[in-house]
Amino acid sequence: MGERPGRVRCALCLLAVLLGGAAMPESGDAVAARADFLLKFARLVEWPAGAQPVPEEPLVVGVAGDAAAAQAISQALAGRMLDENPVVVRRVASAGDVAGCHIVFLTSERDEASILAAAREHAALTVGESDGFAARGGVINFYEEDEALRFEINSAAADRAGFAISSRLLRLAKLVGEP
């Protein structure tokens, strides 16, 4: 009997290692983490009326910016499901491609202003990963702090765009305003 706790502990450790290897992206694997966060954002954000993803219809994620980065995130998201919605990744080369996207992920600052404007017009959630993206009008922006992935939220921009962001998400985010 005395051996059981030790044995259980060993089994739990093994399980934890296996699960960690399978489900959790390594801290280095920033793209996968970003893809993960993106899908979670989708769950914690309420779209404006009419722009809500329809059940069993695909959730369309548009990726703008560097082709390599876009390719990497597209691969990380391809084939995944958000609840009952299959995730579809689309390349956004210009502002004109924004229409029909639920989320637009900007990997660089290129065509940022036009894309942001188009996103606001088409009620698409904008997520970036460049410094000051949120202050420039983006809703959510990734940044790294102590080698951990963090994000900031421009709640004014979200309000403007008609998005309702869950308080739980807001609690974890660094809130930024526009200058």
Chain contacts with other proteins (rule: CB under 8 A): 9, 12-13, 15-17, 19-20, 23-24, 37, 40, 43-44, 148-150, 168-169, 171-172
Among 129, 152, 154, 150, CA closest to 139: 154
User: Which run of H or E residues covers position 87?
Assistant: strand 85-92
We find the least distance from the C-beta atom of residue 174 to other proteins, in angstroms, to be 11
We find the least distance from the C-beta atom of residue 146 to other proteins, in angstroms, to be 9
We find the least distance from the C-beta atom of residue 149 to other proteins, in angstroms, to be 7
User: Which CB, 70 or 82, lies closer to other proteins?
Assistant: 82
User: Which CB, 40 or 91, lies closer to other proteins?
Assistant: 40
Residue count (the chain): 179
User: Which CB, 19 or 117, lies closer to other proteins?
Assistant: 19
Strand order of the β-sheet with 59-64 is 81-82, 85-92, 59-64, 103-106, 125-128, 140-145, 148-153, 174-175
User: Which CB, 78 or 172, lies closer to other proteins?
Assistant: 172
We find the least distance from the C-beta atom of residue 119 to other proteins, in angstroms, to be 23
Cβ contacts of residue 14 below 8 Å, gap of 6+? none
Cβ contacts of residue 51 below 8 Å, gap of 6+? 102, 122, 123, 124, 162
User: Which CB, 87 or 95, lies closer to other proteins?
Assistant: 87
We find the least distance from the C-beta atom of residue 77 to other proteins, in angstroms, to be 17
Cβ contacts of residue 72 below 8 Å, gap of 6+? 31
Distances (CA, A) of 45 to 55, 91, 146: 15, 22, 26
